[in-house]
Amino acid sequence: MRRLGVAIILLTMPLFMNSCGGKADPISEPANARNLTGVWQVLNSANYDLEAHHARHAMQLVEGPWGPQPDKRVLALGAVGAVPAGDSVVQESVIPYTAEALAQRNENRKYWIDRDPEVKCYLPGVPRATYMPFPFQILQNDEAVLFVYEYANAVRNIYTQDPGEAPLDSWMGQSYGYWDGDTFVVEVTAQNGQTWLDRSGNFASSNVNVTERYTKIGANHIRYEATLVDPEVYSKPWTIEMILYRKIGNEARLQEFNCVEFVEELLYGDLRKEPLK
């Protein structure tokens, strides 16, 4: 535990320096296949919907006189609340839900604004943390690997020796990582089943096992794959795939997005002695 604590401190020193204005210069760093250190971000709309989707008025719609219209709670956002189109990142195009789970997904989508954990700033879980519209930083040395996310200050300590069964479930689960050739494989278990996979109601249960694969395909690109196995929800295992892009120059740093304070009124405003109108 003492060595782990020292490793985490050493790993997070670059993050602290970056957040205080220090510059990271990954441009000059060689394309070492086993060096994943850097600040990474996706350039897709998977957080809206893992499956292919067209642009639409809003995440939550109601039936209007001439077709779907935004729910009144997002109507004032106008184009800002609209959904951009996106291709599927699912290798087989659609998620292989069981019939019961598909009905649950569709109901989730119908009540997005009330049910999506992201709205309330709950931790996103895995794999969603990877493709949210925020960067994340990978820090590693010979003994430890740490993932730090801009969204909600989430952190994942990747065990490099099999820790065995997790003592309890959690939002981000337990992660065990190892190298398979030049691919870093992370086995994620013990998630609490309260997260969603995107804003469209796609979900997994607390029994899901996620296998992530990070493969360097250049100095500034990682091919990311995540395979989900959950017989309670899916008829068979399925995989998402996308590219992670390395931020370089002055952009190679994390900013602060501690969204907990941003949702206090939403979660607890009704407890005021005189609630705001």
- What whole-number percentage of the chain has pLDDT above 90? 83
Q: Are residues 67 and 14 in the same domain?
A: no
Secondary structure letter of residue 12 according to DSSP: H
CATH number at residue 193: 2.40.128.20
pLDDT digits (tens, 9 = 90+) for 78-135: 999 999 999 999 999 999 999 999 999 999 999 999 999 999 999 999 999 999 999 9
Q: Is the pLDDT of residue 23 over 90?
A: no
Residue span of the structural domain in which 73 resides = 53-86
Q: Are residues 207 and 146 in the same domain?
A: yes
Q: Are residues 58 and 94 in the same domain?
A: no
Q: CB 249: neighbour CB atoms within 10 A?
A: 11
19-28, 45-54, 238-247: which has the minimum mean pLDDT? 19-28
Judge whether 149 and 125 are in contact, CB under 8 Å: no
Q: Write down the pLDDT at residue 143.
A: 87
Tell me the pLDDT of the chain averaged across its residues.
90
Task: Using alpha carbons, select from 183, 115, 147 the residue that is nearest to residue 11.
Answer: 147
Q: Is the pLDDT of residue 3 over 60?
A: no
Residue 245 CB partners (closer than 8 Å, separation 6+)? 40, 41, 42, 43, 220, 221
H or E stretch covering 17: helix 2-19
- What whole-number percentage of the chain has pLDDT above 70? 89
- What mean pLDDT comes out for the span 44-62? 96
Q: Write down the pLDDT at residue 32.
A: 87
pTM of the shown model: 0.88
Position 106 in a domain: yes
Burial letters for 56-80: b for 16+ Cβ neighbours within 10 Å, e otherwise? ebbbbbeeeeeeeebbeebeeeeee
Burial letters for 153-163: b for 16+ Cβ neighbours within 10 Å, e otherwise? ebebbbbbeee
pLDDT digits (tens, 9 = 90+) for 149-168: 999 999 999 999 999 999 99
**AA identity, residue 188:** V
Q: Are residues 154 and 68 in the same domain?
A: no
Alpha helices in 55-174 (DSSP H): 99-110, 112-115, 128-131
**AA identity, residue 32:** N
**How many domains does the chain fold into?**
2
Task: Using alpha carbons, select from 234, 236, 211 the residue that is nearest to residue 224.
Answer: 211
Q: Are residues 138 and 266 in the same domain?
A: yes
Q: Are residues 137 and 179 in the same domain?
A: yes
H or E stretch covering 186: strand 183-189
